[in-house]
């Protein structure tokens, strides 16, 4: 966000700032003074923050089903609250983890947060670490074109700044070209 030369903030940016401010007024407790929660959520669309004996589940995408299992939470919360709504959320624990019965539609159109309060530190299971494959170093010519297979096409760094990555097919095999 930045002002225009005359000092005014563009309406679209001002509107976005107001929206973020409203969301923080409702859900800010899940952000301020918290730490990242290293918990197996079973979904890339659910991330967790933690403050003391309280966990906050951020739903980057509302689940397609009203039932959700969080495998990394093995304790039953005493209070379960959607910060941006008043819909009830039921919870119980099995050997699979914490089971939640969610409303069919999340109350916030952008990002919903579920607050789980526990009477004592909850029993948590961290996500399993997935080994990261070792990156290959490929020398790129200073001029011209370098053709990489799609598997080698994870490009990053200053060497491609200003270049363009094009994905195409060479026969049946896809490839990426840095130009």
158 pLDDT band, cuts 50/70/90, is very low
Tokens of 38: 């290293």
Residues 6+ apart with CB under 8 A from 33: 51
Average pLDDT over the chain reads 83
Q: What is the pTM of this model?
A: 0.70
pLDDT, tens only, 50-60 = 999 999 999 99
Integer CA distances (angstroms), 89 to 51, 99, 125, in order: 20, 10, 22
* Under 8 Å between Cβ of 49 and 36: yes
What 3-state DSSP class applies to 166? strand
Q: Give per-residue pLDDT as tens, 65-113.
A: 999 999 999 999 999 999 998 888 999 999 999 999 999 999 998 899 9
């Amino acid at each position: 966000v930045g002002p225009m030369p005359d000092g005014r903030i563009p309406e679209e940016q001002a509107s976005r700032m107001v929206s973020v401010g409203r969301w923080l007024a409702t859900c800010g407790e899940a952000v301020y003074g918290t730490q990242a929660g290293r918990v197996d959520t079973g979904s890339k669309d659910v991330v967790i923050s933690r403050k003391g004996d309280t966990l906050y589940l951020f739903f980057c995408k509302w689940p397609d089903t009203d039932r959700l299992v969080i495998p990394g939470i093995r304790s039953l919360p005493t209070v379960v609250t959607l910060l941006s709504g008043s819909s009830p959320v039921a919870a119980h624990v099995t050997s699979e983890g914490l089971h939640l019965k969610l409303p069919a539609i999340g109350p916030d159109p952008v990002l919903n947060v579920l607050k789980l309060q526990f009477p004592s530190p909850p029993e948590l299971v961290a996500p399993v670490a997935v080994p990261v494959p070792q990156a290959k170093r490929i020398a790129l010519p200073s001029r011209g074109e370098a053709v990489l297979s799609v598997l080698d096409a994870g490009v990053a760094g200053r060497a491609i700044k200003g270049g363009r990555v094009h994905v195409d097919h060479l026969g049946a095999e896809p490839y990426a070209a840095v130009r």
